[in-house]
Amino acid sequence: MTTPDLIVLLGYFVLLQLVGFVAGRGQKDSADFFSGKHTLPWWVISASIVAAETSSLTFISIPGLAYTGDLTFMQLAFGYVVGRIIVAFVFLPAYFKGNIETVYAFLELRFSISMRRIAAVLFQITRLFGTGVRLYATALPLSLISGWSITTSILVFTLLTLPYTFFGGVRAAMWVEFIQTAVYLAGAFAAVFVLQVSGVDLGSAPAEKFRFLASGFTNGWTSFFAQPFHITAGIIGGALLAISSHGTDQLIVQKSLACRNLKDAQKAMITSGILVDLQFLLFLIIGVWLFVFFKGATFPVSDNIFPTFIIKHLPAGLVGLVLAAIFATGQSTLSATLSSLASSTLLDIFPNYAKNDERRRLRLSRILTVLWAIAIMLIALIFTDQKNPVVVIALKLASLLGGGIVGLYILGFLQFRQLPALVGFLASATGMAAIAFFSPLAWTWYVPTGLIFCLVPAFALQLALKVSRSPHESA
């Protein structure tokens, strides 16, 4: 990297820490640390949602998907908007009415504290692995540029993210994420500008590169269920995945609950879906443009395509900006995850800890933030030898238990008893584990399938319990 690149990059890191510390001043209790006392405007929270879910995977992996394929990933993005609309008008009203601290407190209201803790632990496990994948994806370009090992890169990246999250909590994280959204979009448009002035004509790409709709029946019903990106799997799978991640996952719901009121939360949620769709389209188009730029050259790992372009073909100064953009996406996800994991651990697992001593609760909140950061770093090292696009690995992990979790909340809305709900969830988890290991089913069908596996036995058991009780009740 040149001196201008280093100046841009260092300036970005200094700005983040300053904003984080200023935004997090005056915190006195854990409620302020985890919710920001509901003082943030909805448009900041909407940008924060976008930044938290975008991560470095969007910046690095999505262009690689278009480079090696086409634009059919957009079908999944269409489903994301549908899912968020459902979350905004079905899930969020129930959460605000219940005045809950975490999304899993809803399960305690409907079932029991045990169900709340089970869901929280599952969230922590899946989020731990998913964020570990994302951390690795962000450390990859740092390793390529600096010559450091992946281990060193992961450590450096985490140490640059932890301070403002540790001191500032969710309010600092969301203001920083608002800035990070602007930074990574500026980085993306900088790459587009360089591709434009380089004389590479996007229109010269093969026509099939611009295909964004697919029926899924290329090879009949086999491909319909084995192919992840087609309109049916995209809309249904994407919508249910969005319901899982934005309606039942503390990472995003924590942000929605930080809004001033329900109306603001709904606006933030729906707007974030529209912005994410536009982002996906932008990064996919960059991938097609890179295909023309590199003349279809093959790369050992598709996640290396965009970083290679950044390192070798961007002018001085812009390299630093685009690298800051990659770090922005990765840091936003990591900081949001640390905050949500710490909040879930304290509020869901140890809700009564030092109940009358807010200083101790705030201290534990910060300690938990550090411990989760260490755990995520360790998980990130597991994925250093992966050859598949990292975004696909992360989405598979998120989808595996997603259907069962969504099923629990649906059963909660329907006032089911705890036993049928628990049996349904366990059936879903067991069935999805078998499918993941022994079936060619595409991962976009994981959430719909898991939901069916949850609801069918739950409804059957609920009906059986009613039938078995009816003679006694009528006597």
The domain ranges of the chain are 3-389, 401-470
Question: Is the four-CA dihedral 55, 256, 407, 423 of positive or negative sign?
Answer: positive
- Angle 202-204-210 from CA coordinates, rounded to 5°: 70
Two tokens at 341? 């994991």
Which segments of 381-417 does DSSP mark as H helices, in order?
A: 390-400, 402-413
Q: What is the CATH number of domain 3-389?
A: 1.20.1730.10
φ/ψ of 188, rounded to 5, equals: -65, -45
pLDDT, one tens digit for every residue, the chain (475 residues): 678 888 888 888 888 778 777 766 666 656 666 655 677 889 989 988 888 787 666 777 889 889 988 888 888 889 999 999 999 999 999 998 877 778 899 999 899 999 999 889 888 888 888 788 778 877 877 777 667 788 888 888 888 888 877 776 777 778 878 888 888 888 889 889 999 988 888 888 888 888 887 776 777 777 777 777 778 888 898 898 899 889 988 888 888 888 889 999 999 999 999 999 999 999 999 999 999 999 988 888 787 888 888 878 888 888 888 878 877 777 777 888 888 898 889 889 988 877 777 778 888 888 998 999 999 988 888 766 555 555 566 667 667 888 899 999 999 999 899 999 999 999 999 999 899 888 888 888 888 999 999 999 999 999 998 877 655 544 3
- Give the whole-angstrom CA distance, residue 272 versus residue 48: 9
Across 30-57, b (16+ Cβ under 10 Å) vs e yields bbbbbbbbeebebebbbbbbbbbbbbbb
